[in-house]
Amino acid sequence: MKKAVTIRFPAPLPAEISCPICEGNRCIVCKKTGKIKITVDAKVPIQRSLIIQYVVENVKDIAYELSRQYGLTQEVETEDMFTIGNATYELVKVSSLGGVVWIANRVDELESPRYFKSISDLQNFRRMSNEQ
């Protein structure tokens, strides 16, 4: 299993930067000029776990940028937590280009999830369950 991914950082090329080794004090790396010419993209190995952590912490911003650049993307979010009798449910809303579906997962006990393709079906489930 791979532990790291190489990420390419886009930059305008070719570029000239101050020498990071001597910080402009003229070493043999920069051939005593204090500057280094860059002609290739910077590539840095980054651990996959750090990439995943970044995605988890910034999922809303990432989803916004994906939508802005490539069109509508799916969105999954917990919309509500509600109780019907002694049962507690988490309501997950899944939005995509094809429409919306709601999934009611019981969180206090093992039970098959319930799927709703329309808001009226979901409201009927909540209303009828509350009447029982």
Question: Over the stretch 27-62, which tens digit does the pLDDT of each residue have?
Answer: 888 888 888 888 877 777 888 888 889 889 998 888
Supply the pTM of this predicted model. 0.47
Q: How far is CA 74 from CA 14, 70, 101, in A?
A: 38, 12, 11
Q: Which pLDDT score, from 0 to 100, does residue 57 have?
A: 92
Asked if 86 and 109 count as a contact pair (C-beta separation under 8 A), the reply is: no
Element (H, E) at 76: strand 75-84
Q: If you count them, how many residues does the chain have?
A: 132
Taking 50 as the pLDDT cut, the residues of the chain under it are none
Asked if 93 and 77 count as a contact pair (C-beta separation under 8 A), the reply is: yes
3 state DSSP class of 123:
helix
Q: Which pLDDT score, from 0 to 100, does residue 74 have?
A: 75
